[in-house]
C-alpha cells in the first residue's frame, strides 16, 4: 500500500483519494460476496504514520482482504513477479505499491520504503517474507524491525485468516468466514551496544509473537508453543 505524501493519508477529495476509496469499496464488495468478513480491533489503528503494519501471509488474498478494511491509505509491498502482470500489475501500480524481490535482500525496495516512512507513510509488511506453505506462521525476517529502528515508526500487528478457505468453501456452495484482527501499536527500543544482529533477531521474535497472539493456535506455526493457548484472538 508515493504521490504527494502531505495529502496521501488524508480524506481530501482529490482524484487520487477518490480512486483509492472506490477501489477499496469495490474490493470489499467482491470479498463480502464471496465470504463473511469480520473485523476486530480497528480502533487500535493509528490514523497517521509513520507506521508499519506487520502481517501474516497465508494466501494471495491477504493483501486485498487487509487493504479493503483499513480506514487509512496504506502502501503495500508486492512480489516483483506481479509487476508485469497485465491486470494485477496495473492494479498494484495504481495504488503505488512497492515491488520487491522475494527471497533476497532487495536493498533498493527497502530504501524506497524507508523514504516513504520518513515522509509519514503507512506501510504493510509481512515479516515472513513469503507466503506460508503450511498454513501457519514461518520464522520472521528482520526487515520490518530494521525499518522501524531506522525511521522511528511504530508497528501494528494485523492478521487475516480464513481467506485460504474461500474457494474451497465456494465449491460446496458455502461462504467461508474471514477474520481480520488489528492489535495495539508498539515501538521498538533503540539498539544498545553489543551484537546488534542478535538484538534485531530478538525484536523480530517479539514482532512475530505479537502477530501470533492475534491468531488461533492452528495458525501460529513455529510460534505456537511460545504463545499461551488462552491468548487466541486477543487484539492487544
Q: Could you report the per-residue pLDDT of 137-161, keeping only the tens digit for each?
A: 999 999 999 999 999 999 999 999 9
* Angle in degrees, CA 14, 18, 21, rounded to 5: 140
Asked if the model's pLDDT at residue 13 lies above 90, the reply is no
The DSSP code for 84 is T
pLDDT at 158: 97
Asked if the model's pLDDT at residue 50 lies above 90, the reply is yes
Question: Which residues, in sequence order, are CB contacts of 89 under 8 Å at separation 6+?
Answer: 82, 83
CA distance 108 to 52: 18
Q: 59-70, pLDDT tens digit by residue? A: 988 988 998 999
Report the interhelical angle of 196-213 vs 143-151 (nearest 10°): 110
Domain 5-220 is found in CATH 3.40.190.170: no
pLDDT at 105: 67
| Cβ-contact 159, 39 below 8 angstroms | no
Report the candidate in 33, 78, 4 with the shortest Cα–Cα distance to residue 178: 33
Give the residue extent of every domain in the chain. 5-220
* 16 — pLDDT class (breaks 50, 70, 90): low
Q: What is the mean pLDDT of residues 210-223?
A: 96
| Cβ-contact 54, 211 below 8 angstroms | yes
| Cβ-contact 166, 34 below 8 angstroms | yes
Phi, psi of 161 (to 5 degrees): -150, 155
3-class DSSP assignment, residue 12:
coil
* Runs of H (alpha helix) within the chain: 5-8, 15-34, 62-69, 88-94, 107-118, 143-151, 166-170, 196-213
Among the residue ranges 20-24, 54-58, 172-176, 185-189, the one predicted with the least confidence is 20-24
Amino acid at each position: 500500500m508515493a504521490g504527494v505524501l502531505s495529502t496521501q493519508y488524508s480524506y481530501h477529495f482529490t482524484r487520487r483519494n477518490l480512486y483509492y476509496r472506490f477501489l477499496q469499496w469495490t474490493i470489499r464488495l467482491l470479498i463480502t460476496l464471496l465470504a463473511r468478513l469480520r473485523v476486530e480491533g480497528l480502533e487500535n489503528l493509528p490514523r497517521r504514520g509513520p507506521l508499519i503494519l506487520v502481517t501474516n501471509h497465508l494466501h494471495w488474498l491477504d493483501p486485498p482482504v487487509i487493504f479493503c478494511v483499513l480506514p487509512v491509505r496504506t502502501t503495500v509491498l508486492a512480489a516483483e513477479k506481479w509487476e508485469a502482470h497485465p491486470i494485477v500489475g496495473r492494479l498494484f501500480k495504481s495504488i503505488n505499491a512497492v515491488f520487491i524481490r522475494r527471497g533476497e535482500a532487495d536493498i533498493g525496495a527497502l530504501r524506497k520504503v524507508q523514504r516513504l516512512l520518513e515522509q509519514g507513510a503507512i506501510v504493510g509488511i509481512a515479516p515472513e517474507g513469503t507466503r506460508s506453505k503450511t498454513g501457519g506462521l514461518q520464522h520472521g525476517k528482520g526487515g520490518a524491525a530494521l525499518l522501524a529502528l531506522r525511521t522511528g515508526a511504530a508497528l501494528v500487528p494485523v492478521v487475516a485468516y480464513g481467506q485460504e478457505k474461500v474457494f474451497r468453501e465456494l465449491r460446496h456452495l458455502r461462504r467461508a468466514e474471514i477474520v481480520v484482527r488489528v492489535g495495539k501499536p508498539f515501538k521498538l527500543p533503540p539498539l544498545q551496544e553489543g551484537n546488534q544482529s542478535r538484538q534485531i533477531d530478538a525484536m523480530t521474535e517479539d514482532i512475530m509473537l505479537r502477530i501470533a497472539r492475534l491468531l488461533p493456535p492452528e495458525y501460529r506455526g513455529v510460534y505456537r508453543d511460545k504463545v499461551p493457548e488462552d491468548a487466541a484472538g486477543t487484539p492487544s
